[in-house]
């Protein structure tokens, strides 16, 4: 008789979720498939209407008919719109411009939430995805990879912390 331990089944299930999510995203795109299995949690990835860029790590979307400010999880870009003008930097303006260029012509983005959904400033906290032609891009990682932000890991929203560092 073959005995399979629970952890082995859980790992197999998670692997299957990753595989199926990848296949579904490739075949039908995030437009039709909104749930992605990650670890033991099945976070919901939701479509939102992109409105505008606030700065290098913050955007505005319309979600469920309501305008929402979204702070990108896992990164920190230099200041460009701080009320204290002395804190705004040329690097912050460059980051903001870069994100504006990336999202030019984008109507829809996809928000993936982690453990905490809202921060102390009442902003949504999310990993943001968008399509560049047929390629799905994580905005947070793209900004980081291009040097317009630095990693910022704040527990409990650390799902991709290893990817960002």
- Residue 121: pLDDT over 60: yes
Average pLDDT, stretch 8-21?
56
Q: Confidence band (pLDDT; 50, 70, 90) for 33? A: very low
Closest CA to 46 of 75, 66, 26, 17: 66
Average pLDDT, stretch 113-120?
95
- pTM (2 decimals)? 0.73
In this predicted structure, what is the pLDDT of residue 21? 53
Positions marked active-site: 71, 79, 123
In this predicted structure, what is the pLDDT of residue 4? 58
Average pLDDT of the chain is 83
Question: In sequence order, what are the residues at sequence separation of 6 or more whose Cβ sits closer than 8 angstroms to the Cβ of residue 105?
Answer: none
């Amino acid at each position: 008789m073959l005995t399979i331990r629970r952890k082995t089944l859980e790992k197999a299930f998670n692997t299957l979720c990753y595989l199926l999510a990848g296949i579904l995203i490739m075949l039908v795109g995030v437009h039709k498939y909104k749930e992605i299995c990650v670890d033991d949690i099945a976070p919901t990835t939701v479509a939102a209407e992109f409105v505008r860029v606030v700065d290098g790590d913050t955007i505005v979307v319309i979600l469920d008919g309501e305008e929402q400010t979204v702070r990108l999880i896992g990164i920190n870009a230099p200041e460009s719109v701080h009320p204290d003008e002395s804190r705004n930097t040329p690097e912050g303006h460059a980051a903001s411009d870069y994100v504006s260029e990336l999202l030019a012509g984008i109507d829809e983005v996809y928000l993936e939430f982690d453990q905490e959904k809202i921060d102390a400033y009442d902003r949504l906290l999310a990993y943001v995805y968008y399509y560049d032609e047929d390629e799905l891009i994580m905005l947070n990682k793209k900004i980081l990879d291009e040097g317009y932000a630095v990693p910022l890991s704040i527990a409990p929203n650390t799902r991709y912390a290893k990817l960002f560092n």
